[in-house]
Structure 1
Amino acid sequence: MDKNINNNADEDSLNEESEMVKKLMKAGEIHAEVIEEAEKLIKPGAKLYDVAEYVENRTRELGGEVAFPCNISINDIAAHYTPVYKDEKTFSENDVVKLDIGVHVDGYIADGARTIDLSCSYNDLKKASEDALYTVIKEIVPPMNIGDMGAIIQEVIESYGYKPVSNLSGHVMEQYVLHSGISIPNVKEKSKDYIDVGDIVAIEPFATDGYGEVMDGNEKYIFKYIKSRPVRLPSARKILKIIEKKYPYLPFAGRWLATEDSKYKIALRTLMSSGCLYGYSTLIEKNHGMVSQTEHTVLITENGAKITTKR
């Protein structure tokens, strides 16, 4: 199994009939359908758990696989919240919800997000991240410096009177690799890094009425396998074997292991402390400001950026 895309893809590999492009576009088609259906489920009184389970099950029904757990981050939580097993949390009429989902077909990933404002009070905040995203996509001419992309995002968000979240960023992706090493900033930066033809890029502006930075929360609900190490706890050894088999490359949710072993939470803590797993902290706006997010995955071609996660 080839787990890496050649970022300097030749013309043939970017042809619409190539296997890579077909799988990438298929993942995007599934993503677009699932996120539209899921948005309709987000209403006051609905359970976050039910929406997340719907997203992940529906992704598989349509022929895709889950690239990372469904993120449902509310209000000042910018990212990395996914429901726990049988989570009883519900949406309220005052919530600003970031729905971030990932779909892959044979490792080719579609990553996209949108903001649902149940409060009807933050329309401009939502527009700020949306406008920033579509503006920077239209301006992409490869090769393009990532710092210049950040400057465009920052300028648009600030034009609405809000701040971009400076320590969150988009990312270049490869087959089975969600973050390949190059990040797309949401603010102007001096950088020697460029995106170029053949790159698969998730661009995700975050806007806030708060401080403009996120901090780590205390909770971790999403994990990633790092390496196998000796562990003493029997439940941890059992869970590690399951993770190595089912989730060797991409992030997974703790709740996915709930039916495997009743001690899965202890096992996950043990595996993190042993260096077998990385845990993603929830990311919270530093001044608890409200946060919006909009994201698309694009394929960089000689003619600019082709959105994969939009019908």
Structure 2
Amino acid sequence: MMDEEIVELYKQAGDIAKKCLANAAARVKPDASILDLVEVSEAEIIDMGGEIAFPLNISLNNNAAHDTASAGDTRCFSKGDVVKVDMGVHIDGYVADTAMTVDLGKNDLLVEASRSALNTAISMVKPGVTTGEIGAAVQKEIERRGYRPVSNLTGHGLGKYLLHGIPTIPNVGMSGGTVIEEGMSFAIEPFATTGSGQVTDGPRAEIFSQISNRNVRLPSAKKLLSEIKTRQSLPFARRWYSGKSEIALAQLYKQGIIRGYPVLHDIPGSLVSQAEHTVIVTEDGCIITTA
């Protein structure tokens, strides 16, 4: 059983995330600036009383996740793009994680595959169900439309200032898995692809998070670390600190104090769709905080 005050914080974060995601998605249009969209959308989270749980992810076409605008990014959306918009909001550390796909081409069935898989998965959530059973249902919904689920991306447990915890929610069937319990909070995020069904690291990394508390000697690195610590391990964007020394960021990375999240992509020419909601498990089902 989750404390009612905590449930309310999750709901507040979810309400902001739902509204801001819809607004961000409406800004995805051919020739629109990706950097402008990201900056406006992240500012809107703050204006609405939330905090940014992670940089707004804008991942195009065969890129599945972990892309965001860089400082001075000149990229714009193009006709035909399949755009994943993935947003995270927190209130006092309690996170709402939600995503949708905006299709600027003719890929309705691909978008439907991930969305329908998400809806089916949510309908199954209740105490006693295993994550393996949920994964099997996700896989079935995606494959019956002629696509592949991305097998090495998963949904994930959420906690206070915790973005990736237990349980892991697979996008493919597996035997066993974690048994769902009342009070769990997690994000379910099916990915459907026209490609291989496996994502790999790309060369770019614009998102980072702190993973250790080692001491640093370089004054600029020490100053940057003091700012990063306020994130309490939640991810941040390189562009948020673009006025700081790149040497400082590189030093923190070299010493293993921060880690990067490379853009994840399927094979060239493929297209990936995503849908995601955050849920809290109740006695006989779940609350969707982001719907």
TM value normalised by structure 1: 0.90
Q: Does 1:230 align with 2:215?
A: yes
8 Å contact from structure 2 (residues 126, 180) kept in 1: no
Aligned to 1:300: 281
| Partner Cα separation in structure 1 for residue 128 and residue 259 of structure 2 | 33
Secondary structure, aligned partner of 2:166: coil
Q: Does 1:108 align with 2:94?
A: yes
Aligned to 2:156: 171
| Partner Cα separation in structure 2 for residue 35 and residue 248 of structure 1 | 23
Report deviation, 1:94: 1.6
Q: Which runs of 4+ in 1 moved over 6 A?
A: none
8 Å contact from structure 2 (residues 125, 180) kept in 1: no
List alignment gaps of at least 5 residues for structure 1.
1-8
- 1:7-41 deviations in whole A, cap 9, x for unaligned? xx25xx2xxxx211111111111111111111111
Secondary structure, aligned partner of 1:82: coil
1:268-283 paired onto structure 2 within 5 Å = 268-283=249-264
| Partner Cα separation in structure 2 for residue 295 and residue 192 of structure 1 | 20
Q: Note the aligned Cα RMSD (angstroms).
A: 1.3
Aligned to 2:143: 158
| Partner Cα separation in structure 2 for residue 296 and residue 118 of structure 1 | 22
1:105-144 paired onto structure 2 within 5 Å = 105-119=91-105, 121-144=106-129
| Partner Cα separation in structure 2 for residue 158 and residue 39 of structure 1 | 26
| Partner Cα separation in structure 2 for residue 42 and residue 220 of structure 1 | 22
Structure 1 residue corresponding to 2:234, chosen from 250, 273, 280: 250
TM value normalised by structure 2: 0.96
| Aligned pairs, number | 291
Secondary structure, aligned partner of 2:205: strand
Secondary structure, aligned partner of 2:204: strand
Q: Does 1:196 align with 2:196?
A: no
- 1:121-161 deviations in whole A, cap 9, x for unaligned? 11100000000000111122312211111000000000100
List alignment gaps of at least 5 residues for structure 2.
none
Report deviation, 1:288: 4.4
Amino acid at match of 1:77: N
Amino acid at match of 1:30: I
| Partner Cα separation in structure 2 for residue 287 and residue 53 of structure 1 | 28
Call closer, same or farther: CA 1:104–1:296 in 2, change over 3 Å. Answer: same
Identity percentage over the alignment?
A: 45
Secondary structure, aligned partner of 2:263: strand
